[in-house]
Amino acid sequence: MSVIGTKRVLPPTAPLPIASATATGVALAANRLAKPRFHLAPVGEGCSSSGEFWEAMNLAGARGLPISFMIQNNQIALDTFTAGQSGAETFGDKGHSMGIPSWSIDGSDPAEFHTSTAVAREFALEGGGPTLIHVETMRGCGHAHHHDDLYLGAASGNPPGYVDRELLTYWSNKDPNS
């Protein structure tokens, strides 16, 4: 019996950074069993600063695993703005530092998102190894009700500040669903 189930989708994990390590472990197991599968490890930009994330990328790169690490840069990690996350120019540069092909995409463009993931999948299944996709997007609210008045999607009267209103407006205007 598989803990992943028939659709081969892992449930969310907490703390979030271990998702990249878990997905890498599943990719390693499938690789050892000679099962041609593509794996995707989506994490937020805050997770990309954790040791688990770097360890997972290192193992994937060293073993040439068929996995893509997807950093969803939603402009604000839990209590840490993007500028305080890394010295890298973009989150995609984190993959380059590990020798992993990496690129950035606009997360509000569904066609670009699909094409990018398809390219990573094909690359991985042809034996190219891991990739990193840096997805530029925006979280529409804070991480918890005590962070911002927009946590539930509507003004509550709490003081603004956690979510940058100008950034929120910019990304709201780019939202393909609005």
CB proximity list for 121: less than 8 A, separation 6 or greater:
38, 68
| Residue 143 among the catalytic residues | yes
Residues 46 and 50: their CA atoms lie apart, in Å, by 8
Cα distances from 6 to residues 1, 3, 117, in angstroms, run 10, 9, 22
- From 39, 134, 139, 151, the catalytic residue: 139
Q: Is 151 a catalytic residue?
A: no
Strands 80-81 and 102-106: unpaired
**Which listed residue (39, 134, 143, 151) is catalytic?**
143
Whether 162 is catalytic is yes
Q: Is the dihedral of CA 46, 73, 162, 157 positive or negative?
A: negative
For the chain, the first-to-last Cα distance in angstroms comes to: 42
Instruction: Please give the torsion angle defined by the CA atoms of residues 102, 47, 112 and 88, in that order, rounded to the nearest 10 degrees.
Output: -50
Residues identified as active-site: 139, 143, 162
